[in-house]
Chains A and B, each alone.
Chain A
Amino acid sequence: MKNNIALTRYDKNKPDIAWCPGCGNFQILRAMKLALEELNISPQQAVVVSGIGQAAKTPQYFNVNMFNGLHGRALPVATGIKLANPELVVIAEGGDGDMYGEGGNHFLHAIRRNPNLTHIVHNNMVYGLTKGQASPTSQIGFKSPIQSVTDMPLNPIAIAIAQNASFVARSFSLNINQLKNLLKTAIQHEGYALIDVFQPCVVFNKVNTYQWFQEHTYDLPNDYNPYDREKAFQIAIDEHNLALGIIYKNHID
């Protein structure tokens, strides 16, 4: 991964990164730095709020205001920050366990409350930091040291559209350019914006690999209309062909 090229004022000098080589998190980190830089947002103005997990370490590795709080609790913290100072660009970031498991209630209610912030979820369908247990998005049949998953995976995109979330997108970390552009649109969007990012965990998820994501995802066509909620919902519940792009928006910016 080309992760150490000094690109922006967001780059930190030699961060001691605790991620495994080849992890999708590197691509997400890079896309975030690029997106913020291209939007000409200063590191002083941006705040990244994260929970606990491998994904939640992201703000440790670049030069930006950071609130690295508790597992599951990034969204309420981010909402408090945004309410207290609306001029800040606020991003809540964490893993699938963090945001959909421990913080699941906050996810539902952040959609209702619709704060003007960006919600990035690194979805590797596994608990990385705690070494490979199933997560709420692990698929049926996924095997871990603890379990062979029998529970239905949580579908964050469908939940968000069902709740008429303001902005719902999905991306794949390998496609840095698409992710960067989605991040820029999400940051500029007025209101709550979810980006669920497929992020291969090369160590603990041997099922949902780079290849698996490549085979199971497709880009939404250029003429796709994200304002059609029913169509968006149909796309969201298709569990075989996983759409990437802005799947739903409830208003025109």
Chain B
Amino acid sequence: MQKKIKDISIVIHGAAGQGLKTIELFLAPLLLQHTGFYVFSTSEYMSRIRGGNNSVEIHVSTSPVLAFVERIDLLISMNRFNIDHLCDRITKNTTIIADHSLIAEKHSLIQIPLLDNVQNGNEKTIPNSIVIGIVLSLFAISPTHYIPEIKKYFSKATANQNQQSIEYGYQLTDKLCEEKKLTKYKLIATTAKQDHLISGAEAIAAGAISGGCNFVTAYPMSPGTSVFTHMAKAARDRPIIIEQVEDEISAANMALGAWYAGARAMITTAGGGFALMCETISLAGMIETPLVVLIGQRPGPATGLPTRTEQSDLNLVLYAGHGEFPRIILAPGTPQEAFQLTQKAFNLADKFQVPVFILADQFFLDSLYCTDVFDLTQKIETHIIKTDSCYQRYQLTEDGISPRGIPNYGDGIVCVDSDEHNETGYIAEDKKTRITMQNKRLKKLESIKKYAYAPTFIGSENFTFLVVCWGSNYGVVQETLQQLNTTSFAMLHFAQLYPLHPEAKKYLHQAHKIIMVENNSSGQFDSLLHREFNVRSDHLILQYDGSPFSVEGLTRQLQHISNEK
């Protein structure tokens, strides 16, 4: 028997060290390619290497999915003792597959021997592979499809044992289905139009490569490290220099040195690491040397929740560095946007000679999204000039942008100075030079504004409520509004946070009520909108428990707001 479904949320639960990531990476692409469904997957894990409670949610649907849902349709637990941390999300409609009777005391479940390392032929079973087998069986994905994948995800030494465990899980599940204890899932949709699966981190790395990034420095810190890892992988067969340095201060200075000498460098970090870079960001502003920084946000202050998500470093990035100088802040909401804007970040940094920040978060970086093929029409733009013998690095121009030379390309010499400097680049302390140079640097903001990326508006023009969001909340707001299915709600998503695109004002002024959705505790973007446009949200929906918004949670909050009159 097959259950006809439109949408299913599968959650796999286990401890660190049980191979949840492998399950996710193995299953998600197979489900996408062989069921015709859209797939989205997101994981939550604790900051530990062994033990604890972690889970991955694989959301399979007939329409595009980009968000976390609370609902669990199928829960498979590899935990020996309890599934307590998922209790709130379990309902009578949740099918639970688990091993141990301790869980069975509280929930009705289908028991499958996942953990006992059953003798299976001449090998013992492996729990995560049995789980893979169970899901493959439920979606009737045939061995001809999954067998070739095994060697990609498992080591040679264990591949055989993994395969046998997958088959063991598969057959057990087939049998349970025949006995009508479990039901197979059957698609009712046509095939998914987006057939690429990619993490936010990979999309950013791909954008960086397409933006001509050839130099990456970092000191490891979650969740920024995932981008660093993808860049390091890409560097194996590309001319990209990867340097893991002694600290974030070094990372920032080395990247700045690289840009000065003609490279296109990126730093990857998280809020805490970025805090250490602030003096160097100010240096980049002063010497007008480009810089691209990827910041993966996680809950702070201090070490906070190292493996969870938050959007609380906007203010840090907005105000980072002493003194006043222009900057650009981007916060992509989809993989396509992440690719395009990261690529653009390099062009903007090069053109305007300012630091450009890509503000992502753990949820976005680590989740797997379906996406269209990336748009490759945007080109690498470089703005380096060949110098002549009278070259002056800070030559005064109409728009404040001085032609940028690099050492040993032309007859000039290139002098950059963190002290206030004259046009040649040498230290100068007189008031006139100071004012001239400060005005020159600030003037660049006017040109930068002309290149701002417009916010995305989705909804009917006759909306009443404007739901405003930025960065990774694109997906959850979009899905929630689709479910609410009413013309009174529209969404405005910002993927460029600074400087803001002037068009945004139109929507903000048109809104009867503005509802701001942010993953932080103080409404940082709301404050920025107030500062820039003098508008204030009527409602703040804030979440700062370390988890992303869920579609159900946001639906409840929006319904509550629309009901109160």
- Contact A70–B257 (Cβ < 8 Å): no
Apart from A73-B253, A79-B257, what are 19 other A-B pairs with CB-CB below 8 Å? Answer: A43-B413, A44-B407, A44-B412, A52-B418, A65-B414, A68-B418, A70-B279, A79-B243, A79-B254, A80-B217, A80-B253, A80-B258, A81-B257, A83-B258, A84-B258, A84-B263, A85-B406, A105-B247, A108-B246
Cα-based distance from A70 to B426 in the complex (angstroms): 15
Chain A min CB distance to B398 (Å): 26
Cα-based distance from A64 to B258 in the complex (angstroms): 18
Q: In the complex, which residue of chain A has the Cβ closest to the Cβ of B217?
A: A80
Q: Which residues of the partner chain A approach B241 to less than 8 Å between Cβ atoms?
A: 83-84
Cα-based distance from A45 to B407 in the complex (angstroms): 7
Cα-based distance from A47 to B416 in the complex (angstroms): 11
Chain B min CB distance to A163 (Å): 13
Q: Is A57 an interface residue, CB under 8 A from the partner?
A: yes
Cα-based distance from A80 to B406 in the complex (angstroms): 13
Q: In the complex, which residue of chain B has the Cβ closest to the Cβ of A61?
A: B426
A85 and B261 in contact, given A76-B249, A76-B254, A79-B254 (Cβ under 8 angstroms): yes
- Number of B interface residues, CB 8 Å? 42
- Contact B417–A66 (Cβ < 8 Å): yes
Q: Is A227 an interface residue, CB under 8 A from the partner?
A: no
Q: Is A143 an interface residue, CB under 8 A from the partner?
A: no
A67 and B260 in contact, given A57-B427, A77-B254, A80-B255 (Cβ under 8 angstroms): yes
Cα-based distance from A66 to B259 in the complex (angstroms): 14
Q: Which residues of the partner chain B approach A65 to less than 8 Å between Cβ atoms?
A: 407-408, 413-415
Q: Which residues of the partner chain B approach A80 to less than 8 Å between Cβ atoms?
A: 215, 217, 253-258, 260-261, 263, 265
Chain A min CB distance to B253 (Å): 4
Q: Is A87 an interface residue, CB under 8 A from the partner?
A: yes
Cα-based distance from A159 to B394 in the complex (angstroms): 40
Cα-based distance from A84 to B136 in the complex (angstroms): 48
What would 24 A/B residue contacts be, using CB atoms closer than 8 Å? A44-B407, A44-B408, A44-B410, A44-B413, A52-B419, A59-B415, A65-B407, A66-B413, A68-B417, A69-B256, A70-B279, A76-B250, A77-B260, A78-B257, A81-B257, A81-B260, A83-B258, A84-B215, A84-B265, A88-B261, A88-B407, A88-B408, A105-B250, A106-B249
Chain B min CB distance to A166 (Å): 17
With a 10 A CB-CB cut-off, give which of A45, A57, A76, A106 has the most chain B CB atoms. A76
Chain B min CB distance to A65 (Å): 4
Q: Which residues of the partner chain A approach B550 to less than 8 Å between Cβ atoms?
A: none
Q: How would residues 160 to 201 of chain A score, 1 for a CB under 8 Å from any chain B CB and 0 otherwise?
A: 000000000000000000000000000000000000000000
- Contact B262–A76 (Cβ < 8 Å): no
- Contact A60–B261 (Cβ < 8 Å): no
Q: Is A243 an interface residue, CB under 8 A from the partner?
A: no
Chain A min CB distance to B136 (Å): 46
- Number of A interface residues, CB 8 Å? 35
A87 and B408 in contact, given A52-B418, A77-B254 (Cβ under 8 angstroms): yes
Chain B min CB distance to A233 (Å): 24
Q: Is B245 an interface residue, CB under 8 A from the partner?
A: yes
Q: Which residues of the partner chain B approach A81 to less than 8 Å between Cβ atoms?
A: 257-258, 260-261, 407
Q: Is A63 an interface residue, CB under 8 A from the partner?
A: yes
Q: Which residues of the partner chain A approach B255 to less than 8 Å between Cβ atoms?
A: 80
Q: Which residues of the partner chain A approach B427 to less than 8 Å between Cβ atoms?
A: 57, 60, 68
Q: How would residues 83 to 115 of chain A score, 1 for a CB under 8 Å from any chain B CB and 0 otherwise?
A: 111011000000000000000011011000000
Cα-based distance from A60 to B425 in the complex (angstroms): 9
Q: Is A49 an interface residue, CB under 8 A from the partner?
A: yes
- Contact A84–B280 (Cβ < 8 Å): no
Cα-based distance from A108 to B418 in the complex (angstroms): 24
Q: In the complex, which residue of chain B has the Cβ closest to the Cβ of A65?
A: B407
Q: In the complex, which residue of chain A has the Cβ closest to the Cβ of B251?
A: A76
- Contact A73–B249 (Cβ < 8 Å): yes
With a 10 A CB-CB cut-off, give which of B217, B259, B417 has the most chain A CB atoms. B417
A77 and B253 in contact, given A69-B418, A85-B261, A109-B245 (Cβ under 8 angstroms): yes
Chain B min CB distance to A101 (Å): 14
Q: Is B514 an interface residue, CB under 8 A from the partner?
A: no
A83 and B408 in contact, given A65-B414, A76-B250 (Cβ under 8 angstroms): no
User: Which of B249, B262, B414 sits near A84, CB closer than 8 Å?
Assistant: B262
- Contact A76–B253 (Cβ < 8 Å): yes
Q: Which residues of the partner chain B approach A75 to less than 8 Å between Cβ atoms?
A: 250
Q: Which residues of the partner chain B approach A52 to less than 8 Å between Cβ atoms?
A: 418-419
Cα-based distance from A77 to B252 in the complex (angstroms): 9
Q: Is B399 an interface residue, CB under 8 A from the partner?
A: no
Q: Which residues of the partner chain B approach A43 to less than 8 Å between Cβ atoms?
A: 413
Q: Which residues of the partner chain A approach B246 to less than 8 Å between Cβ atoms?
A: 105-106, 108-109
Chain B min CB distance to A97 (Å): 16
Cα-based distance from A186 to B314 in the complex (angstroms): 45
B238-287 residues with Cβ-Cβ distance < 8 A to A are 241, 243, 245-247, 249-251, 253-263, 265, 279-280, 283, 287
Cα-based distance from A82 to B255 in the complex (angstroms): 11
Q: Is B178 an interface residue, CB under 8 A from the partner?
A: no
- Contact A70–B261 (Cβ < 8 Å): no
Chain B min CB distance to A39 (Å): 15
- 10 closest A-B pairs by beta carbon, nearest first, are A80-B257, A77-B257, A80-B254, A84-B261, A109-B246, A84-B263, A76-B253, A80-B258, A76-B250, A66-B415
Q: Which residues of the partner chain A approach B265 to less than 8 Å between Cβ atoms?
A: 80, 84
Q: In the complex, which residue of chain B has the Cβ closest to the Cβ of A73?
A: B253
Q: Is B411 an interface residue, CB under 8 A from the partner?
A: yes
- Contact A67–B257 (Cβ < 8 Å): yes
Q: In the complex, which residue of chain A has the Cβ closest to the Cβ of B243?
A: A83
Q: Which residues of the partner chain A approach B419 to less than 8 Å between Cβ atoms?
A: 52, 68
- Contact B256–A77 (Cβ < 8 Å): yes
Chain A min CB distance to B81 (Å): 44
Q: Which residues of the partner chain A approach B261 to less than 8 Å between Cβ atoms?
A: 47, 80-82, 84-85, 88
With a 10 A CB-CB cut-off, give which of B251, B259, B413 has the most chain A CB atoms. B413
